[in-house]
């Protein structure tokens, strides 16, 4: 990996001639236009294929937990963000055929009427006007996993016009099919192996997803509607043989089974119109409902085949979100673009849990505190901001204020109110047409995960994760400085240095010597650097090839609530290793990723590979220290459009079949302050996967 680090730090000196399809000037605030024919070399079939090849740009699908602004991501379609949260920008782009795209604009600094939402760059998909021809786009795929069942999928969408309404209807379905093989080892206080387990995990099910988007003009108002319906049935199964070292003949068995269905419905509407020559108004309404009924069991069987434990958990989680938002953009003052955003949101989670144990004498109800609660939040968010163009310097500044009230009923009864000031300031200096320096300082407020208010069972660890009714949002002062340099038609170099000051860090808070709840522990800091390079490789003889390099390094600090000693921020587990800077886990120390692609234009063939690695991720509990990690990940693909007018793609995932591992140290009391009770090492392999997909449109 040293070679990867060295390459990421190389200056991108491979300068080629400017592509005639790429235009832009400083007077347009570094707006770079890529005509649709610029992407022909990449054999794209959708707008997503095209956006993924924009030099120096990575799609950010947003965070779907924080109102509309945080969910909007960094993608615009005809200058507007889609009025949706659960339906990500990538999903919208995947349903736009390339024939519908006129050009793609890379927005590198603030433009009137555009809210960057803290992003250093946006892409705007400009669609062909008055495209009256109906388009049917389809894709069929099948995935073979050497450790799991076969996984077929189908995706089809229709884009057409009915009277004055442009619409796109889509349907997607896939079979859920995953599998893992692994083992667990248990060591006692003296670090002596006393038990092993051979584990087999698999998950089956089926997912259905339907989407519908439409837009039309009603007088001088453009009206858009987006809907999304999902039904995802899952049946994860885990079987383990528990083998005591001192007596291998007394093998026990453990079965952990779950059956659940995730049903979701999202409705989004927005209306845009020019109120007068200088004032643009937009109204957005969103509604989302998610229901997750689930039944889980944990069964233990002794060496004679007798059941010694049957633990059952029946839960139901119902969440609702509603958002109403008004945006006003005023350009009546020369060199200024003033924006006022008003947003109201309602969030609700209603959770219930019934747990029983049967040890051979009948079922007994287990009391789980905080397992039956209803949590709701009413939040108001106001932002007033101005973009001031001063020659080659853009100043974007503003002030936001947020008010919220969180109420909880059921096992816990209370009501709390919060308010936050959220100032922001962004200075962008366009040094030249190809160089830009930017500094951002802003206060961001996180959205609480309402599931953290409600207790749940964790069968895999034979544990209970208690809810905490006293959670409060954490707030972060963000300071960023970035430099961008673009080279020729495909070269780009970007580096971002950042420092975050976090108030009321959300982590695990000690409740007793052996129980913890999600909670606010102390103030913390996080700092580091991100780097993204797009390097054309013609200068080393690879015609039509490029290399994208991504690097993130960071450090962090917070006072541990158990030991009172400074440590890094907790990270979450999570797999696989393919995390991007846009939506990856922010609390692992480093991430490295290299994406190579070569397009053989005359042969109409492209091939490439991805190599990724990230650091281990610690999770600090009151009586445990868990460390998650995995090996180097590698994907490879080859695709062609030579035959029948369709794209045929063969992709290999997890080619190295890396090991996912977890080291778990459990103490008799508080972590590091008491004797180690036992250690558990887990290692799993989830298999190499080979996917063949065929896609086209007509």
Which residues, at least 6 apart from 500, have a Cβ–Cβ distance to it below 8 Å? 476, 477, 478, 479, 525, 526, 527
Region 638-666: what's the mean pLDDT? Answer: 92
Query: Residue 19 belongs to what H/E stretch?
Result: none
- Could you tell me which residues come within 8 angstroms of residue 160 by beta carbon, excluding any fewer than 6 positions away? 134, 135, 166, 167
pLDDT at 572: 61
Q: According to the model, what pLDDT value does residue 9 have?
A: 46
Token digits of residue 206? 């089926």
In this prediction, residue 3 carries a pLDDT of 39
16 has a pLDDT exceeding 50: no
pLDDT of residue 578: 52
Average pLDDT over residues 178-206: 93
pLDDT at 23 over 50: no
DSSP type of residue 360: S
CB count in 10 Å sphere of residue 531 = 19
What is the C-alpha separation between 698 and 696, in angstroms, rounded? 7
Output the pLDDT for position 680: 95
- The beta-strand segments (E) located in 601-675 are 605-614, 617-620, 624-630, 633-640, 647-653, 659-667
Q: Average pLDDT in the 575-597 region?
A: 68
Residue-level pLDDT at 63: 61
Dist CA 117 CA 123 (whole Å): 13
pLDDT at 588: 78
Average pLDDT of the chain? 87
Query: 538 pLDDT exceeds 50?
Result: yes
Q: How far apart are CA 446 and CA 346, in angstroms?
A: 15
Both tokens assigned to 462: 């034979």
Angle at CA of residue 541, ends 537 and 542, nearest 5° = 55
> Binning pLDDT at 50, 70 and 90, where does residue 370 land?
confident
CA proximity to 546, closest of 594, 482, 480, 611:
594
Phi, psi of 388 (to 5 degrees): -115, 115
- Does residue 15 have a pLDDT over 70? no
Q: For position 71, what pLDDT does the model report?
A: 60
What is the distance, to the nearest Å, from the Cα of residue 127 to the centroid of all Cα atoms in its chain?
26
- pLDDT above 90 coverage of the chain, percent: 57
Say if residue 507's pLDDT is above 70: yes
- Point out which residues pair with 242 in neighbouring strands: 197, 252
SS3 626: strand
60-74, 542-556, 617-631: lowest mean pLDDT where? 60-74
β-strands 435-445, 456-458: how paired?
A: unpaired
Pick 5 or 202 by higher pLDDT: 202
* Cβ atoms within 10 Å, residue 419: 10
Higher pLDDT, 523 or 516: 523
What number is the average pLDDT over the span 15-33? 47
Peptide bond just before 408 cis, omega within 30 deg: no
Comparing CA positions, the residue from 496, 487, 533 lying closest to residue 57 is: 533
Please check the confidence at residue 29 and state whether its pLDDT lies above 70.
Answer: no
Mean pLDDT confidence for 243-261: 92
Poorest-confidence range of 278-282, 351-355, 580-584? 580-584
Q: What CA–CA distances, in Å, run from 131 to 64, 134, 142?
A: 32, 8, 33
Per residue in 81-130, pLDDT (tens digit) is 887 777 778 888 888 888 899 999 988 776 766 777 767 788 899 988 87
User: Which of 135, 213, 205, 209 lies closest to 167 in space, CA to CA?
Assistant: 213
Amino acid 459: pLDDT = 79
Cβ atoms within 10 Å, residue 609: 15
pLDDT over threshold 50, residue 466: yes
The residues that bridge with 327 in the sheet, in sequence order, are: 282, 341
Q: Which residue has the higher pLDDT, 62 or 633?
A: 633
Q: pLDDT class for 12, splitting at 50, 70, 90?
A: very low
Nearest alpha-carbon partner for 294 in 232, 349, 348, 201: 232
The fold of 2-11+159-697 is Maltoporin; Chain A (2.40.170)
347 Cβ contact partners less than 8 Å away, ≥ 6 residues apart: 319, 320, 321, 376, 377, 379, 450
Q: Tell me: the pLDDT tens digits for 303-335?
A: 998 999 999 999 999 999 999 999 999 999 998
Residues 6+ apart with CB under 8 A from 362: none
Residue located via tokens 């660890």: 461
Provide the CB-side half-sphere exposure for 56 (13 A, CA): 28
What are residue 620's DSSP bridge partners?
625
CA distance 270 to 225: 7
Quote the pLDDT of residue 391: 85
Say if residues 646 and 639 touch (Cβ distance below 8 Å).
no
pLDDT at position 508, please? Answer: 87
Instruction: Please state, in angstroms and rounded to a whole number, the distance separating the CA atoms of residues 478 and 194.
Output: 48
Nearest-angstrom CA–CA distance, 483 and 428: 10
Mean pLDDT of 652-672: 92
**Which pLDDT belongs to residue 133?**
76
Q: Are 296 and 261 in contact (CB under 8 A)?
A: no
129 versus 570: the higher-pLDDT residue is 570
pLDDT at 149: 84
Tell me the DSSP string of 518-564: EEE---EEEEEEEEEEEEE-GGGT-TTEEEEEEEEEEEEEEE-TTT-
Q: Which residues pair with 15 in a beta bridge?
A: none
Query: Domain boundaries in the chain?
Result: 2-11+159-697
Q: For the chain, what percent of residues have pLDDT higher than 70? A: 91
Question: In what helix (H) or strand (E) does residue 2 lie, and over which residues does it extend?
Answer: helix 2-9
Rounded to the nearest angstrom, the gap between the alpha carbon of residue 6 and the centroid of all alpha carbons in its chain is 28
Position 600 pLDDT exceeds 80: yes
Checking if the pLDDT of 417 tops 60, the result is yes
- Is the CB of residue 540 less than 8 Å from the CB of residue 529? no
In what helix (H) or strand (E) does residue 387 lie, and over which residues does it extend?
strand 373-390
pLDDT band at 62 (very low <50, low <70, confident <90, very high): low
Query: Residue 4's pLDDT is what?
Result: 40
**582 pLDDT more than 60:** no
Q: Are the beta carbons of 185 and 680 closer than 8 angstroms?
A: yes
Residues 520, 590: Cα–Cα separation, whole Å: 25
- Poorest-pLDDT segment among 38-47, 57-66, 663-672: 57-66
Average pLDDT over residues 649-676: 92
Answer yes or no: pTM beyond 0.85: yes
Weakest-pLDDT range from 2-16, 80-94, 214-228, 402-416 = 2-16
Q: Determine the Cα–Cα distance for residues 370 and 618; give it in Å rounded to an integer.
A: 27
């Amino acid at each position: 990996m040293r070679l990867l680090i060295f390459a990421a730090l190389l200056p991108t000196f491979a300068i080629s001639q400017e592509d005639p399809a790429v235009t832009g000037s400083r007077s347009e605030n570094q707006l770079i236009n890529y005509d649709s024919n610029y992407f022909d070399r990449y054999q794209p079939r959708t707008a997503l294929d095209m956006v993924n090849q924009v030099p120096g740009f990575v799609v950010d699908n947003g965070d779907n937990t924080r109102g509309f602004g945080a969910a909007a991501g960094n993608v615009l379609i005809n200058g507007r963000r889609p009025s949706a949260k659960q339906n990500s920008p990538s999903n919208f782009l995947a349903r736009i055929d390339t024939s519908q795209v006129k050009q793609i604009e890379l927005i590198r600094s603030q433009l009137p009427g555009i809210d960057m939402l803290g992003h250093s760059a946006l892409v705007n998909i400009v669609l062909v006007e008055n495209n009256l021809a109906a388009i049917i786009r389809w894709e069929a795929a099948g995935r073979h996993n050497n450790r799991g069942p076969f996984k077929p999928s189908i995706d089809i969408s229709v884009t057409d016009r009915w009277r004055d309404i442009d619409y796109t209807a889509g349907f997607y379905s896939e079979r859920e099919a995953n599998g893992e093989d692994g083992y667990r080892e248990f060591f006692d206080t003296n670090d002596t192996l006393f038990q092993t387990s051979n584990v087999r995990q698999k998950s089956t099910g089926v997912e259905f997803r339907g989407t519908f988007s439409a837009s039309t003009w009603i007088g001088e108002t453009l009206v858009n509607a987006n809907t999304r319906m999902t039904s995802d049935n899952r049946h994860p199964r885990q079987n383990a043989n528990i083998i005591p070292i001192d007596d291998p003949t007394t093998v026990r068995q453990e079965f952990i089974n779950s059956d659940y269905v995730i049903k979701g419905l999202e409705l989004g509407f927005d209306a845009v119109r020019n109120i007068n020559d200088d004032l643009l108004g937009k109204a957005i309404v969103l509604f989302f409902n998610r229901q997750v009924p689930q039944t889980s069991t944990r069964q233990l069987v002794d060496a004679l085949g007798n059941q010694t434990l049957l633990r059952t958990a029946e839960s139901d989680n119902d969440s609702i979100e509603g958002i109403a938002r008004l945006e006003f953009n005023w350009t009546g003052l020369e060199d200024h673009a003033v924006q006022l955003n008003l947003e109201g949101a309602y969030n609700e989670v209603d959770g219930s849990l019934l747990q029983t144990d049967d040890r051979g004498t009948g079922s007994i109800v287990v009391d789980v505190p905080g397992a039956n609660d209803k949590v709701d939040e009413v939040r108001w968010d106001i932002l007033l901001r101005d973009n001031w163009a001063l020659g080659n310097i853009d100043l974007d500044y503003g002030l936001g204020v947020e008010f919220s009230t969180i109420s909880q009923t059921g096992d816990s009864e209370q009501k709390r109110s919060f308010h936050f000031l959220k100032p922001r300031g962004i200075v962008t200096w366009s040094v030249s047409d190809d160089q830009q320096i930017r500094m951002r300082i802003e206060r961001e407020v996180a959205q609480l995960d309402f599931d953290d208010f409600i207790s749940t069972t964790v069968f895999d660890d034979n544990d209970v994760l208690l809810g905490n009714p006293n959670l409060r949002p954490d707030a972060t002062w963000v300071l960023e400085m970035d430099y961008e340099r673009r080279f020729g038609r495909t070269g780009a170099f970007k580096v971002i240095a950042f420092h975050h000051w976090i108030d009321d860090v959300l982590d695990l808070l000690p409740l007793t010597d052996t129980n913890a709840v999600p909670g606010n522990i102390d103030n913390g800091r996080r700092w580091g650097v991100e780097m993204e390079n797009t390097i054309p490789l013609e200068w080393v003889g690879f015609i039509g090839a490029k290399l994208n390099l991504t690097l993130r390094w960071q450090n962090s600090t917070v006072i541990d609530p158990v030991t009172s000693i400074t440590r890094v921020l907790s990270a979450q587990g999570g797999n696989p290793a393919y995390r991007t800077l846009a939506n990856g886990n922010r609390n692992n120390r480093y991430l490295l990723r290299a994406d190579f692609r070569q397009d053989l234009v005359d042969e109409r063939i492209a091939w490439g590979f991805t190599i990724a690695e990230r650091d281990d991720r610690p999770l600090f509990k009151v009586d445990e220290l868990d460390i998650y990690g995995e090996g180097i990940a590698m994907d490879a693909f080859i695709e062609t459009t030579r035959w029948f007018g369709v794209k045929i793609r063969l992709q290999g995932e997890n080619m190295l079949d890396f090991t996912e591992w977890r080291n778990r140290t459990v103490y008799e009391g508080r972590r590091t302050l008491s004797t180690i009770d036992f250690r558990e090492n887990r290692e799993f392999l989830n298999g190499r996967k080979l996917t063949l997909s065929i896609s086209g449109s007509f």
